[in-house]
Amino acid sequence: MPKLTLGGKYDPRNPSHKMLMSVLGGMSESERQHVQAQVRAAMDAQVVNEGRHQGGRAPYGYVAVDAGPHPNPRKAAEGFRLRVLAIEAETAEVVRRIFAEYLDGKG
């Protein structure tokens, strides 16, 4: 893609400059959304493929447990640990009942 330039200092009164800045802003937003989608897809893959917990509070019915050293060597050297979700026995029956009622058509 050719490099888009203003050909000098930005002039807010110049319609061409305003149009080009709008185009550049749109391209920047598109790139930001693309990167955001890639990051979310990678995080989703970590959850599905590795069972990783991405942080924050564990969902009801689960508890975050230690699963050994962090897979990233730098983070492991800093003492970070891998966290995964495990079913919490005390609340598991409630979660099962909620899902069963939902499948039976209850909202």
pTM: 0.53
Residue 80 has pLDDT above 60, yes or no: yes
Q: Looking at 37-94, which runs of residues are DSSP E strands?
A: 62-69, 81-87
Handedness of CA 82, 85, 87, 92 (dihedral sign): positive
pLDDT digits 0-9 by tens, 37-68: 999 999 888 888 877 777 788 889 999 899 89
